[in-house]
Structure 1
Amino acid sequence: MQIISPVDAVKVMAITILSYVAIVIILRASGKRTLSKMNAFDFIVTIALGSVLATTIVNYKSSFWNGILTFTMLVVCQHVATWLSVRFDAVSQLLKSEPALLYYDNTFQKKTMKKERVDKNELKQAIRKAGYISFQGVSAIILEADGSLTVMSDREKRNLKKSDFVFIDE
């Protein structure tokens, strides 16, 4: 095991600080979406940014500017993907998932639950987080595109029919 020299240690500390500052600036400039709840491509960009940051710090002898360029390009790719997905439905369908109705009107949507790999215990956890102790008073539970579960109470139902959930494929 080789011990790092004091000069190299200072380089690592400097690269770490500079990389941290650079990624904070780049992420702040990229907008709220980069830091919000994520869909698949947002998640990929976030993981890649973390990997690039770690590589830039650990491989301090490689160019700091390579890391900054890579950070910037990943964020640009994310912006291009979101720009395209907002303007073209085909791109949006490719990059984003649709919400899924998992529970409606006292009925578990078993086919959808199986497809989305969600079990009843996860729905029970969601209703507890929403302040319920049972499914009584719950009209619907939706798996959102970002992976979160939305619990709708009977008060929120407002005479909704299953067909009102426009994202449902019957």
Structure 2
Amino acid sequence: MDLPMGLPVDLKDWLFVEPAKVLPIFITVICVYIGLIALTRIGGIRSFSKMSGFDFAVTVSIGSIFAGIVMAEDPSVGQGLITLTIVFAVQLIVATIRQRSNRFETLMSNKARMIMVGDAIQHDQMRKAKISREDLYAKLREANVFHFNQIIAVIAETTGDVSVIHTNNVKDISPDIFKGVIGYERLTQRPKS
């Protein structure tokens, strides 16, 4: 049988795995999985968080490394575990430095952006966050917003998530919640209803 583009392949090799390879794959998965659990316990809650873009990149890297170890022709569990340990260590070091240094925090992280204040879309911030009107509306629906007058603010977070803050009864807005969000001053200048 030939695959498209003229690449020959033996269908048996393409669809099936040799029984002798199943046990090493199984043992590799178990060992790496146990190692991953141990590293997660050592690394703590932040190990798979999405508190920053860096955290998200680390999470994707961990998944890729795990898959690479398991899918390799000759998997090296030791090399894979060392690689995972280094990735976890770098994440912990970066998180610690970010916690202690505002300058490093600013260097490593994007700023959250206020993309909607009340029912007013902040087009300049939407452009900078590279979010379309359709993306915004999808997030509003996802947050169960039924009418624009329910919206207090919509924020494009540093992780790529969109936070929709809405209610039917706004009394006061606590400024600390919006600390560091670009465009927060627009929320404080909004006329109260």
Q: What TM-score do you get using the length of structure 2 for normalisation?
A: 0.74
1:85 lines up with 2:85 in the alignment? no
Larger Rg: 2
1:3-30 CA-partner distances (Å, limit 9, x unpaired): 7554333212211221122112212321
Cα distance change on mapping 1:103 and 1:21 into 2, 3 Å? same
In structure 1, stretches of 5+ residues that fail to align are: none
How big is the alpha-carbon RMSD for the aligned residues of Structure 1 and Structure 2? 2.5
Q: Pick which of 59-68 and 77-86 moved more.
A: 59-68
Cα 1:136–1:65 shift into 2, 3 Å: same
Quote the sequence identity (%): 23
Q: 1:25 to 1:89 in 2, by over 3 A?
A: same
Q: How many residues align?
A: 168
- The correspondence for 1:55, drawn from 35, 58, 68, is 68
**1:158 match:** 172
Matches of 2:112 and 2:50 in 1, distance apart?
Answer: 14
What is the aligned partner in structure 2 of residue 167 from structure 1? Answer: 181
Q: Distance in 1 between matches of 2:127 and 2:171?
A: 25
Equivalent residues in 2 for 1:12-23, closer than 5 Å: 12-23=25-36
Give the TM-score normalised by the residue count of structure 1.
0.83
Q: Is 1:146–2:159 an aligned residue pair?
A: yes
Is the aligned partner of 1:7 residue 2:7?
Answer: no
User: Residue 93 of structure 1: SS of its match in structure 2?
Assistant: helix
Change (3 A) 1:114 1:7: same
CA separation of 1:38/1:168 partners in 2, compared to 1, >3 Å: closer, same or farther? Answer: closer
Check 1:4–1:129 CA distance in 2 against 1; reply closer, same or farther (3 A cut).
closer
Query: 2:115·2:125 contact (CA, 8 Å) conserved in 1?
Result: yes
Match of 1:66 in 2: 79
Equivalent residues of 1:12, 1:60 under 8 A apart: no
Deviation string 1:62-119 (CA, Å, 9 cap, x unpaired) is 4311111111110000000111111111211122121110111332111000111112
Contact 1:124 1:134 in 2 (8 A): no
CA distance in 2, matches of 1:135, 1:52: 44
Cα distance in structure 1, aligned partners of 2:61 and 2:174: 41
Q: Which secondary structure does the structure 2 equivalent of 1:147 belong to?
A: coil
8 Å contact 1:11–1:60 — kept in the other structure?
Answer: no
